[in-house]
Structure 1
Amino acid sequence: MKILYLLSPLFLALFLAFFAPLFSSYDPNFGDVTKLLFAPNLEHILGTDMLGRDLFTRILYALKTSFFIGLLSSFLTLVLALLYVFVARLFFYTFFMRLLDMFLALPFLLLMMFFSGFIEGNNLSMILMIALTHWSFVAKLFASELKRLENLEFYQAALVLGSTKIKAFFRDLLPPCFSLLAVLFVLNIVHAISTEATLSFFGLGLGFEIASLGNILNEASKAVFIGAWWLVLYPLLALLILILPLLALSGYLRKCWSVSL
């Protein structure tokens, strides 16, 4: 029950985000030049930004965008990692593991900044870019866990009883890895949200026309010097509402399943 209380801010934020039109009649990209930099008031409960857009509406749509990117990129990361390890176990395992170490040595953030200059900054490209630069870490942990399980008696017994390596992989090795993969999935959502926010903050992520927490904070960095505190405070709180409950969930799952990373 305690974990439900910890996740309740996230559930509330996502509920508001996915049903944003029910809670706000404003367009997240429509600016009103007569309402530039309004402080929080009864009409705009979180104020307006430098273009006169309602900040509450922008944050709701940004929460949905950031969570959507985090969820799908984390799922794609796991799929790529699982496929890589599975193929490696079928052909030239040592070569693929050395290749994996090479991928891990690459500075993924610099790579993302480099490739972001050549691709369009939309949701799909951000999901692909995050997944393609994060799968190697998951693959390394997954491969290490499989190596540990291979030395246990249940796997050796399965091979002795006539099971092929492919059947043993799906029937005997993969199920015990579920807890590890579940924890990595949650942590990857957090990391993907943080990565998107970081890149968008520096103008290298999503296009400026897309409402995301990184883009809102990028705009807020220009307004902080003129005393528009609400443009910094509320987007940061929204980012924490996304990240902290997910970190608590990952810690809870690690404790329940005794997962070590």
Structure 2
Amino acid sequence: MRNLRHRPHSLIGAIVVLTVIAVYALAVPMLTGTNPGLTDFAAAYQPPSGSHWFGTDLAGRDLFVRTAAGLRVSLVIAAVCAVASAAVGVAVGVTAGALGGWIDRIVMRLVDGINALPHLLLGIVVVALYPGNLVAIVASIALTHWTQVARIARAEVRAARSATYLEAARLSGATRTRIAITHLVPAAAGQGIVAVILLLPHAIWHESTLSFLGLGLPPDQASVGTLLQDARAAVLTGAWWTLLFPAAALIVTTLAVAVVGAAVDHRITPPLPERAIR
């Protein structure tokens, strides 16, 4: 991934792929006019053809439309989780870095404690209390992925606290709150943007995993995870297309987002010598 982010052709290709995926996920269910939940058991397990490009599933539903609808749901959930997780991480990191002292030590020990817990296991516990609840799914992902963002935001804030412009702001009589809002939050905002992009693949995979385990969205709701859950039994009957196309959509999406995120991280985060000089 470090090599890909330095290659402009790879970055352009990833952006084009993401654009195609976004258009596919948003436009296909509307343009085709096909209900992704419409069943036709007489057409069950039909292989890919001119009438059904991705084939059909066990209920005769068109997988081309259903994969687009599922990808759209997974992307929306992942985006909400990534934004919420990045917001919590930046808020906690800025608070710890700005206040310092015993508050910083307590917050970082809390971060260490959460990091010691398996994220997937903690997410399963949260979702198991409210199975099929969309808010519980978002909370289970957002509340387990903010710790790394908090560490990075805290490091940026601690580096900014020693800058000369911050000392000048203190000498001019600026309050601690004003300094935090005016200088420290913008110092960590760039890392928050990077975190949102880089957390998207993690959020997509976690939502898919929870739905695959039967703890996420209900089976009748199309998402990448529920499609993969349906494909688990279908593959044993020879319906390989029920696994291939949803899995390919998941893998291609996460790889494209990872490449774009790595490139943005490289542009926002300066190299170590520059950071030392700054």
TM-score for the superposition, normalised by structure 2: 0.86
Quick one: distance in 1 between partners of 2:236 and 2:154?
49
Which of residues 250, 260, 265 in structure 2 aligns to 1:249? 260
Which stretch of the first structure deviates more once superposed, 66-75 or 93-102? 93-102
In structure 2, the partner of 1:115 is: 126
CA contact (8 A) 1:254 1:260 kept: no
Quick one: distance in 2 between partners of 1:125 and 1:19?
28
Equivalent AA in structure 1 for residue 211 of structure 2: S
Q: Does 1:105 align with 2:127?
A: no
Map 1:220-239 → 2, pairs under 5 A: 220-239=231-250
In structure 2, the partner of 1:189 is: 200
1:3-23 residue CA offsets vs partner (Å, 9 max, x unmatched): 343211221121122223333
Quick one: distance in 1 between partners of 2:269 and 2:135?
35
Map 1:17-166 → 2, pairs under 5 A: 17-88=25-96, 89-90=98-99, 92-166=103-177
| Percent identical | 30
- Shift, 1:258, TM fit: 3.2
Quick one: distance in 2 between partners of 1:228 and 1:126?
29
In structure 1, the partner of 2:276 is: none
Provide the aligned length of Structure 1 versus Structure 2. 261
Quick one: distance in 1 between partners of 2:270 and 2:241?
40
**Structure 1: stretches of 5+ with no match in the other structure:** none
In the superposition, relative to structure 1, how do residues 85 and 257 fare at CA in structure 2: closer, same or farther (>3 Å)? closer
CA contact (8 A) 2:29 2:68 kept: no
CA contact (8 A) 1:16 1:23 kept: no
Give the root-mean-square deviation of aligned CA atoms: 2.1
Quick one: distance in 1 between partners of 2:147 and 2:90?
10
CA contact (8 A) 2:45 2:55 kept: yes
In the superposition, relative to structure 1, how do residues 93 and 256 fare at CA in structure 2: closer, same or farther (>3 Å)? closer
SS of residue in 2 equivalent to 1:162: coil
**Structure 2: stretches of 5+ with no match in the other structure:** 1-7, 273-278
Equivalent AA in structure 1 for residue 70 of structure 2: A
